[in-house]
Every structure is written in structure tokens, then in C-alpha cells.
Amino acid sequence: MARVRDPIPVPTECPYCSGQVSIMHHRDIYDGRVFSDWPWMYVCDHCGARVGMHPFTNIPLGTLADEATRVARKNCKPAFERLWQRGGMSRSDAYAWLAGKLGLTAAQCHWGLFDIETCHRARDLCAGLMGARP
Ligand SMILES: [Zn+2]
């Protein structure tokens, strides 16, 4: 099994509806299409909230996410990527800075764990820091 830092526990119950969580293949979720070399996801049987796995492991990439949460994570993360790609910070320094601002531990500070509100706060913090630079 590949090494993953701070692995997130395997989900057994949906955080939104308490539904049961199953492992599903991409082709059964995405209408026959497959998007990865490791096409497995955890999916809530009841509401369809889902999350992928680290390649070649059963370790989830984050917490189960409903549609709105998936959109928020996807739309807000680029502000963070810009921070360390163009902001003169290493990725781990950027995560440490963001964790401090959000009041989270390093293990808690991960886009795959953020709820919608945290996504928005993190995006605004990153964009604000970039905006404050010449
Ligand atoms: Zn659910």
C-alpha cells in the first residue's frame, strides 16, 4: 500500500444523511466513463455524496462531499495553488500558514476535509494575501 501522510479514516456513515457508504467503480457513477487509474470511490447509498481514494489504496482523499461541497472545494482551491505556485512560498509553508489562519492543525488543513464555509474562508485568505503583495 502506498504511503499517505495523515490518512483519513475510511467512511462508513454519510455525514449529511447518515446513509450507508459503499465502494463504487467510476463506470457505475459516471455513466460508463472512467477518470483515473484507480477508479474507485466511496459513495453514500442514500444521497450520493462521494469522495475518491488515494491511488492504489483504500484511503479516502477527504471526507464525503455532496455536490455543493465538491463545487466549493474545486472552485476555491485554485486561490491556494496560486499562493504557493506564484507566491514565493513552498506548498507545505502555504499549508502551515493557512492552518494558522483558519485555526486548524496541519492534519485538519486539507481541501478534502473543508466544508463549504471553510473553503470560502480559505479562498479569501489566500486571495487576500496575494492581493497584498506587489
Ligand atoms: Zn448521504
The ranges assigned to domains in the chain are 1-64, 67-131
Neighbours of ion ligand 1 (CB under 5 A): 14, 16-17, 19, 44, 46-47, 49
CA of 17 to the centre of ligand 1 (A): 4
Per-residue pLDDT band for 2 (boundaries 50, 70, 90) equals low
Cα–Cα dist 100/92, whole Å: 12
Place of cell 462508513: 12
User: Can you tell me the mean pLDDT for 18-39?
Assistant: 93
Q: Which pLDDT score, from 0 to 100, does residue 55 have?
A: 93
Per-residue pLDDT band for 133 (boundaries 50, 70, 90) equals low
User: Can you tell me the mean pLDDT for 2-23?
Assistant: 89
Give yes or no for residue 39 having a pLDDT over 60.
yes
Per-residue pLDDT band for 4 (boundaries 50, 70, 90) equals confident
Q: Which pLDDT score, from 0 to 100, does residue 115 have?
A: 96
Give yes or no for residue 36 having a pLDDT over 90.
no
User: Can you tell me the mean pLDDT for 86-100?
Assistant: 92
| Mean pLDDT of the residues in the chain | 92
CA of 64 to the centre of ligand 1 (A): 8
CA distances, 79 to each of 25, 27, 110 (Å): 31, 31, 14
Cα–Cα dist 13/105, whole Å: 24
CA of 97 to the centre of ligand 1 (A): 32
